[in-house]
Amino acid sequence: MHQGRHFLQIPGPSPVPDRILRAMDMPVIDHRSAEFAALGRAVLEGSQKVFQTRGPVVIFPSSGTGAWEAAIVNTLSPGDKVLMVETGHFATLWRQMAGRFGIEVDFMPGDWRRGADPIQIEARLAADTAHSIKAVMVVHNETSTGATSRISDIRAAIDRTSHPALLMVDTISSLGSVDYRHDEWKVDVSVSCSQKGFMLPPGLGFNAISEKARAASRTNRMPRSYFDWEEMLKPNAKGFFPYTPATNLLYGLREAIAMLLEEGLDNVFARHQRLAAATRAAVNQWGLEVLCQEPSEFSPVLTAVMMPPGHDADQFRKVVLDNFNMSLGAGLSKVAGKVFRIGHLGECNELTLLGALTGVEMGLSVAGVPHRPGGVEAAMRLLEQRDQRNASSYLKVVST
């Protein structure tokens, strides 16, 4: 028997703050009423601020996987060719989905230890003089590995080739936690969901779409019904949805957006960077290895930690859960049993993180995993040096 609150330190679903739980604790209302229209307009306009776009954001009652599907069926046709990059488990799943729709996928291999390489993408597009590639599809933050791809650099690489391919980005585990700029980076479709940076339960999928993507949706030949953008955008103009919406999740979304904007997106991003840096300081002190090898691509959302040879990550996670009532993320697919993942996203602060790191350090001892003590202290030292002046100054320190 465990007392106290369970520590949910997986990289999503993230813990739902009490403030959002209270916001969702409302009677269901008439989804054709003026009261609902005000709610609909609030969440649609608020989502634009989080995506940092002036274009439309479509909200589906779905998981992030549904939002993946919406991105595909609204822009591509059977037989189209797309360029994707093997950054981890979720990039592989998106590739499999595309294949089921008859899309030809040029899947650039990767080692699961870094993000998508802009230079390699540029080379593939430069060689495609016939412009047979219709889209470049990239996972921004690969949740299975803790590596974040540099979308602004990828956009610059595409621009250097003057290639007309759409840029489609999975922001499922990064939106609301990692700096992301849909308009500035000229992303055509940004895919996301509710249970990560938005701090909501699962159940909402998002597509932020450019005019270029919307134009593609008017001529592509992929059948769709439930996920049709145009069928959503017509009633969205007045705050409504074409079918029954997830009303109480939308109440929560309105509150989540308010929380993010009250803190300030720059401050949200800086907080995640700071907590991630403290986590890596602990891992380094323990003598363990972070899975991501490129410092400029370290994820602010989670840290994937490699186990020493001869030690099973899933057994270690079980020891931590049984002894300290804390859930850590499992290794997926190629890294199953080889890594565990520490989530530090959403409603997470210094003390929450230090509690989680304490549980990991005690778990390493109980499980007999070779390590150096003092990881929590190393994280504390970094957090004590927090620059209180403003978020941008901290981001500059981290980036250097």
| Model pLDDT for residues 268-288, shown as the tens digit of each residue | 999 999 999 999 999 999 999
CA pair distance 290, 276, nearest whole angstrom: 11
Q: What pLDDT does 391 receive? A: 43
Bridge-partner residues for 60, per DSSP?
205
140-189: per-residue pLDDT in tens? 999 999 999 999 999 999 999 999 999 999 999 999 999 999 999 999 99
Annotated binding-site residue? 341 = yes
Please state which of the four CATH numbers 3.40.640.10, 3.40.47.10, 3.40.50.620, 3.40.1790.10 is assigned to the domain occupying 18-261: 3.40.640.10
The sign of the torsion formed by the CA atoms of 58, 62, 64, 67 equals: negative
Each domain of the chain, given as residue ranges in start order, spans: 18-261, 264-399
- CATH of range 264-399; options 3.40.50.300, 3.90.1150.10, 3.60.20.10, 3.40.50.740: 3.90.1150.10
| pLDDT surpasses 70 at 397 | no
Alpha helices in 338-387 (DSSP H): 350-366, 375-384
- Round to whole Å and give the CA distance between 181 and 190: 10
